[in-house]
């Protein structure tokens, strides 16, 4: 599914301005292992931009900062996740604090899931 042009432009901008947790996780996800699917960063899909996306597995990885627990953001996230599910995309969320605390552990859990799904 193609994203609207403005969403694609915003995704390009977000790739240049990734948050520290996103950067920490991206350095681990982009060094993919032989035979395993790759991830894209700040991938536009429909009206949304996914932090990380594995097209082969229809899997989105989101890194949620503190804002995701306040105001209308949880409602927006639920609506977004429901739309993504309707497109056949599973969303897995990690907190930014967990990524900053141990990015290797978060990446390991993602690769374990990817390995399980590619068997």
Exposed/middle/buried for 6, CB within 10 Å: 0-12, 13-18, 19+? exposed
82-117 as b/e, with b when 16 or more CB fall inside 10 Å?
eebeeeebebeebbbebbeeebeebbeebeebbeee
Q: CA 3 to CA 11: how far, in whole Å?
A: 10
Q: Where in the sequence is the domain holding 20, given as residue range(s)?
A: 5-118
- Sorting pLDDT into bands at 50, 70 and 90, what band is 33? confident
Using the predicted structure, report yes or no on whether residue 10 has a pLDDT greater than 90: no
Q: What is the pLDDT of residue 60?
A: 97
Prediction pTM value: 0.85
Average the pLDDT over 16-24 and give the result: 89
What angle (nearest 5°) sits at the alpha carbon of residue 80, between those of residues 119 and 47?
Answer: 100
What total of structural domains would you count in the chain?
1
Give the CATH number of the domain where residue 68 resides. 3.40.960.10
């Amino acid at each position: 599914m193609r994203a609207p042009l403005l969403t694609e432009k915003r995704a390009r901008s977000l790739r240049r301005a990734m948050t520290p947790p996103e950067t920490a996780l991206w350095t681990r996800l982009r060094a993919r292992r032989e035979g395993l699917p790759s991830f894209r960063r700040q991938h536009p899909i429909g009206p949304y931009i996914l932090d990380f996306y594995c097209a082969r597995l229809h899997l989105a990885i989101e890194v949620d900062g503190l804002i995701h627990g306040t105001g209308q953001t949880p409602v927006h996230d639920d609506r977004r996740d429901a739309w993504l599910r309707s497109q056949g995309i599973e969303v897995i969320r990690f907190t930014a604090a967990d990524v900053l605390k141990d990015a290797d552990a978060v990446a390991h859990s993602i690769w374990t899931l990817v390995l399980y799904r590619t068997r």
